[in-house]
Amino acid sequence: MKAEREWKDQLYQEFARIGKCLSSPKRLELIDLLAQGPKAVDQLAKITGMSVANVSQHLQTLHESRLVRSHKRGNFVIYDIAEPSVAEFMVSLHRLSENQLVEIQKLKSEILHHGISMEPIAMEELLMRMDRGEVVLLDVRPEDEYAMGHIPGAISIPMKELEKQLSSLPADKEIVAYCRGPYCLMSAQAVEILKSKGIKAIRLEEGVYEWKRYMEDSKLSSI
């Protein structure tokens, strides 16, 4: 019996390594960013507002827990999530946290409904309307993230280039903007810009990983 107890203690000690690693808000943000595609340390520092030294320290902790991996590209060290299950875990964490913590629901409501209406379109409705050719799906993430993976049928106009490329969008269709998922503000900002220019627009709350999970769930339910 003692051997079994020691075995369980060691087992949960290893589980706790991941828990301790995820106790930092900044490390959670870094994982979310890397789930969109590989990035260099200085790129992550610019996005998060942290110093390169702090980003490097957080990445080292994530690397030691085998949640991220790295490789050299010239003079740069590029980081990526260790495997797709890390991104899947983060999606589950987001959903659980939003369901259980009213504070997250309030923060989300405050940020996304501060100006014009930001009621999102449902994934099922989006796919049906795309099939009918009624909407244009717009990915406003950086080009490198779009290249790593995007929702099929989406066109890429990074947020920083949106106002310059408004003329390239069709005037007779509604624009559906999406970015990195429910807690990314770029799609909300894009909708605000589009509406201010008289363009019909709406936000898709989900990102690429949420779309993948939706498609997998749809396949399972049809079996």
**Spans of all domains in the chain:** 2-87, 108-221
CATH classification (class only), 108-221: alpha beta
Q: In this model, does residue 115 exceed pLDDT 60?
A: no
- Reply yes or no on whether 184 is catalytic: no
> Would you say residue 107 has pLDDT above 90?
no
Sheet holding 76-81, edge to edge: 39-40, 76-81, 68-73
pLDDT digits (tens, 9 = 90+) for 19-39: 999 999 999 999 999 999 999
pLDDT score recorded for residue 221: 62
The band of 209, judged by pLDDT with boundaries at 50, 70 and 90, is confident
* Catalytic one of 34, 87, 138, 179: 179
Residue-level pLDDT at 110:
75
pLDDT value of position 65: 95
Answer whether residue 149 shows pLDDT above 60: yes
**pLDDT at 53 (0 to 100):** 97
Binned at pLDDT 50, 70 and 90, residue 222 comes out as: low
> Is the predicted pLDDT of residue 111 greater than 80, yes or no?
no
pLDDT band at 118 (very low <50, low <70, confident <90, very high): low
Residues 184-198 pLDDT 10s? 889 999 999 999 999
Strand order in the sheet with 135-139: 155-156, 135-139, 174-178, 201-203
Q: What count of other Cβ atoms lies within 10 Å of the Cβ of residue 154?
A: 21
Say if residues 146 and 156 touch (Cβ distance below 8 Å): yes
User: How far apart are alpha carbons 18 and 12 in whole angstroms?
Assistant: 10
Taking CA 56 as the corner, what is the angle to CA 24 and CA 182, rounded to the nearest 5 degrees? Answer: 50
Look over the chain and give the mean of its residue pLDDT values, rounded to a whole number: 91
Q: What is 2-87's CATH topology?
A: Arc Repressor Mutant, subunit A (1.10.10)
